[in-house]
Amino acid sequence: MKSQIAALIMAAAAVSPAIADTLTVKSDAPKRYVVKKGDTLWDISSLYLRSPWKWRQLWQKNPQIDNPHLIYPGDILSLGLDENGNPILIIDKGVRKLSPHVRIIAEKGTAIPTLPLSVLEPYLSYDQALDKDDLAEFPIVLGSDKNFKMSITGHLLYVKGNLLQGGNYGIYRQGDAYKDGSRTLAYETVLVGTARALKSGNIEDGIPSTVKVEAVKREIKAGDFLMPLPQGQDLKATFKMSKPSQPVEGAIIASSNKHSEFGPLSVVVLNVGSEQQLVEGSVLDILRQSPTVVERNGTPKYLEDSSSLDKLIGDIGSWFGEENSEDSTVWHMPSEKVGELMLFKVYDNISYAMVMKTTQPIQVGDSVTN
């Protein structure tokens, strides 16, 4: 099997070396693969390509595919060559004879998502990154029908705001600030519960809206704010994976699990967004800065292991752009790639992304680039 795939790749390279340079199929890629429920587009892309975001190139001349991002459980993918000798994936359709039985491909249902939808759903449905001005505009909880400091499921809440009767709302609390250095980019919103509006208020006449609490994640307090929940809308499950063409320099500024280190399928927050021409589906590399070394009198040491004097020399040199002296040299080592992530929710200057691949645990502060 592997020798057949290797021959396939060599043939493609011989006919079109330019394409082979940009689209290299793995030597151990399966010649035939049956899509299963639970698969993601990233998983399948990774079976065939070391650079999963180049998936569209593998499908680009496939006349069978109306939308290369829609693949369904039961589809049978076959690796072949197009008329120019370039690697291509095709879908075997219809009835496949598998002796001694005949297998009929099931009618298509829900397309497989690009990323695990169970992980993304809370962020697509509920979580938001909002600035201070946005937060001030939302209706707030004034109190409950019972003289309790905190409310639970079944309680009625009175809300300062003209809500839509019958509408469904998420109840949120302001969370941590997302900071880029000392600059606050946005604030985390923490979902504390959901509610349905029973009566629409009229704030101009001093009449609050009334909502009934339908679900609680944590106790609801006065001052929590409400935002409408999307109704009757399908969650976005497919994304056009792509590497940005323009330079991108950013960093991971927060993680959803609040841990110091995290791995694949973790959701992180970045300090870049649409202002950097990023979109949902953008794929970025995660880089880790290698430790600085101070060489003093011919003896190299990591900066954290150096003497206070060496650290001072390094700091002063950084300030003035002169990091070397007659007996001390500061070596700034390069950054190394430690993983990849994909953006799935993009704001002006902040984004949510999922870590897809790592070679070591990812940390807040790691940089991202294309």
Whether the CB-CB separation of 253 and 179 falls below 8 Å is answered with yes
Same domain, 88 and 20: yes
189 is a domain residue: yes
Q: Which of 104, 127, 157 is the last residue of a domain?
A: 104
β-bridge mates for residue 252, sequence order: 270
Same domain, 13 and 26: yes
The angle formed by the CA atoms of residues 310, 312 and 314, to the nearest 5 degrees, is 70
Averaged pLDDT for residues 200-212 = 94
Residue 321 reports pLDDT greater than 60: no
Same domain, 39 and 57: yes
21 is a domain residue: yes
User: Domain tally for the chain?
Assistant: 4
236 is a domain residue: no
Torsion angle, alpha carbons of 44, 49, 51, 54, to 10: -80
Same domain, 268 and 363: yes
Report the range out of 7-11, 61-65, 268-272 with the highest average pLDDT: 268-272
Output the CA–CA distances (angstroms, integers) from residue 46 to 93, 175, 326, in the order listed: 23, 36, 50
Same domain, 130 and 88: no
208 is a domain residue: yes
Residue 235 reports pLDDT greater than 90: no
Cis peptide before 100 (omega within 30 of 0): yes
Q: How confident is the model at residue 315 (pLDDT cuts 50, 70, 90)?
A: low
303 is a domain residue: yes
Averaged pLDDT for residues 319-331 = 61
203 is a domain residue: yes
**Which domain does 37 fall in, by range?**
2-104
235 is a domain residue: no
**CB half-sphere exposure, 148, CA atoms < 13 A:** 14
Whether the CB-CB separation of 138 and 226 falls below 8 Å is answered with yes
Q: What is the largest CA-CA distance in the chain?
A: 82
pTM, whole model, 2 decimals?
0.76
Burial-class residue 64 by CB neighbours within 10 Å (0-12, 13-18, 19+): exposed
pLDDT: is 194 or 111 the higher one? Answer: 194
214 is a domain residue: yes
